[in-house]
Amino acid sequence: MVLLLYVVYIVAACWGVTNIREGLEKRNTANYDSYSVLYYDLEDDYFKEYAFTISVMFSGKDLDFSSKETQDRIDGVLRELENSTYVDARVTQCWLRDFLDYIERTKEVASEPDEEGNTTVLDVSTEEAFARTLRDVYLADPWAENNQDVAFSEDGKRVVAARFLIQVRNKRGFRRHRLVAFLPLLANLTTGGWTS
pLDDT at 117: 57
Please tell me the least confidently modeled range out of 36-40, 158-162, 177-181: 177-181
134 burial class (0-12, 13-18, 19+ CB within 10 angstroms)?
Answer: buried
Q: Quote the distance between the C-alpha of residue 154 and its chain's center.
A: 26
194 burial class (0-12, 13-18, 19+ CB within 10 angstroms)?
Answer: middle
Is 70 exceeded by the pLDDT of residue 158? yes
Q: Quote the distance between the C-alpha of residue 167 and its chain's center.
A: 5
pLDDT at 71: 92
Q: Which tens digit of pLDDT belongs to each residue from 51-102?
A: 678 888 898 888 899 999 999 999 988 898 888 777 888 889 999 999 999 9
**Helix or strand or coil: residue 133?**
helix
Q: What is the mean pLDDT of residues 143-172?
A: 87
pLDDT at 65: 92
Q: Which residues contact 172 (CB under 8 A, 6 or more apart)?
A: none
Is 80 exceeded by the pLDDT of residue 188? no
Q: What is the mean pLDDT of residues 120-144?
A: 87
Is 90 exceeded by the pLDDT of residue 164? yes
- Judge contact between 54 and 168, C-beta under 8 A: yes
Distance linking the first and last C-alpha atoms of the chain = 74
Task: Give the type of residue at 5.
Answer: L
**DSSP character string of 60-114:** -TT--TTSHHHHHHHHHHHHHHHTSTTB-GGG-B-HHHHHHHHHHHHHHHHTS--
Please tell me the least confidently modeled range out of 32-41, 43-52, 144-153: 43-52
* CA–CA dist 54, 164 (Å, integer): 8
Higher pLDDT: 123 or 6? It is: 6
pLDDT at 110: 60
Q: Which element (helix H / strand E) includes 160?
A: strand 159-169
Pairing of strands 150-152, 159-169: antiparallel
Q: What is the mean pLDDT of residues 122-138?
A: 89
* Average pLDDT of the residues of the chain: 81
- Judge contact between 27 and 40, C-beta under 8 A: yes
Q: Quote the distance between the C-alpha of residue 189 and its chain's center.
A: 14
